[in-house]
Structure 1
């Protein structure tokens, strides 16, 4: 860890590991608060691409600071060997834990989707695509406020620049990412739609027994609503799912359009579109 960090924070136990770094709980004697510290050992990075990725994450977090539903960056320290990013601590269970054992009602699911889409829309307004929206990266702080986290796969797309590269997680990745074509920020809307589907149905919309089978199912994009899983889900929720999990990117909703959909604006209480 960098010397500058050690002079200002007391590093405590390890609480997680990511692609490039280890996450610790740390304490600031000055503020009296605990934070999360992502410490990246630059000496073990494979190449300049990896180095660019970890530097980009810090820049992106600083750019996105200020939105209540995106994890906040507190401090950045860097020396020859380490990059240390101090962020707000989200020590409640993540969404993965919360969706593992239960099915959500429309109202409960909307209470998650509304702040999640606010976070995604904020990223898109700033020209950032997260590219790995999944329950594991949706955290909650001590006041149960949703926080979108882990921008290690995020990319800039402003000035009409499209993106390439297969990133993301099998169940949640958009079909255009897997196809190898250029894609835009709407990949995040697809991933959020998968999360919404899982919360309401208890199963993923596209699945298989291996990563290859899951990818095949995603590429087909054949969206279904099995009666046994969707008997209590409102028609308006299914309408929004069709618009988020639309294989035709030109017809897929943007994050802003999702926020303006009746299911979101009614907080999940609308039962029909009429």
Structure 2
């Protein structure tokens, strides 16, 4: 298998490592273009759920192919023990590192430059019947040109195959997971909108909206869903931004905005440039 890959792509240095595999920098032996190779050791996947995710991710990436703000899969190689995905190379700091580097506080136009392509990519997924289900800063990458790339679809689900468009299963990450996921109920694709709302809140405030001392405390805070805007932290955040956050971080799923509605919100349309609340009515 390695010889087959090296005929098409030359692997060089390691650039990342996870529970089940390693990410290498590589380049095409034909064009010289640079890519990343995500190599997964299937022998480490003892949990059937992990194996299912492994098989699902490349299929979902193929469905989502062509969107400039979603990591693209270019080739897939698989044998009995390994799976290798050739994907876009994203070496710039991810959103988690960018938030950490500056204390999490972005101006509204700066936040909008990141948020707009993120929610656009989420809307694209939803139109194709796919929910990401693990939207978090670590999974928001940037290529060498600064283009945002939504990545890691290992927890994604194709809800479009379900007649009712609902999903089950507790997946996601503390701070970012939606309350209906934690409650054990059926849920829909709006869980991604909630997670994106948490990210926007963190970029503007420097702290998450729901948190605790332990993961269990954080989950309890998420389940309560008591959204607050501490005056000291939000004194310079516009009413428009807070209005959008209220509509995304709404515990009532029926009232929570869809990704398409978020894209039409005045704060997103204006690129984070504040306007009067009268324009929202």
**Same-fold status (TM-score > 0.5):** yes
* Residue 175 of structure 2 corresponds to residue 171 of structure 1: yes
Question: Tell me, what secondary structure is at the counterpart of 2:186?
Answer: coil
- Per the alignment, residue 140 of structure 2 pairs with 138
- Per the alignment, residue 258 of structure 2 pairs with 254
- Per the alignment, residue 40 of structure 1 pairs with 40
Kindly state the Cα deviation for residue 19 of structure 1 after the two structures are TM-superposed: 4.3
Matching of residues 41-190 of structure 1 within 5 Å = 41-100=41-100, 101-102=102-103, 103-158=105-160, 159-190=163-194
- C-alpha distance after superposition, 1:36-66 (max 9, x if no partner): 1111122232144332211100000011010
What's the C-alpha RMSD, in Å, of the aligned pairs? 1.3
Q: Unaligned 5+ residue runs, structure 2?
A: none
- Per the alignment, residue 199 of structure 1 pairs with 203
Question: Tell me, what secondary structure is at the counterpart of 1:12?
Answer: strand
Distance across 2 between alignment mates of 1:3 and 1:53: 26
Distance across 2 between alignment mates of 1:50 and 1:136: 19
Q: Pick closer, same or farther for the CA change 1:202–1:76 going to 2, 3 Å.
A: same
* C-alpha contact (below 8 Å) 2:65/2:73 kept by paired residues: yes
Greater shift after overlay, 64-73 or 97-106? 97-106
Could you list the structure 1 runs, at least 4 aligned residues long, displaced by more than 6 angstroms after superposition. none
- C-alpha distance after superposition, 1:217-245 (max 9, x if no partner): 00000000001110110000000000000
Distance across 1 between alignment mates of 2:164 and 2:210: 30
Give the alignment partner of residue 270 of structure 1, picking from 270, 274, 277.
274
* C-alpha contact (below 8 Å) 1:23/1:38 kept by paired residues: yes
TM-score when scaled to structure 1? Answer: 0.97
- C-alpha distance after superposition, 1:125-157 (max 9, x if no partner): 111110110001001111101110011111110
Distance across 2 between alignment mates of 1:38 and 1:229: 40
Kindly state the Cα deviation for residue 160 of structure 1 after the two structures are TM-superposed: 2.5
TM-score when scaled to structure 2? Answer: 0.94
Count residues with an aligned counterpart.
274
* C-alpha contact (below 8 Å) 1:173/1:187 kept by paired residues: yes
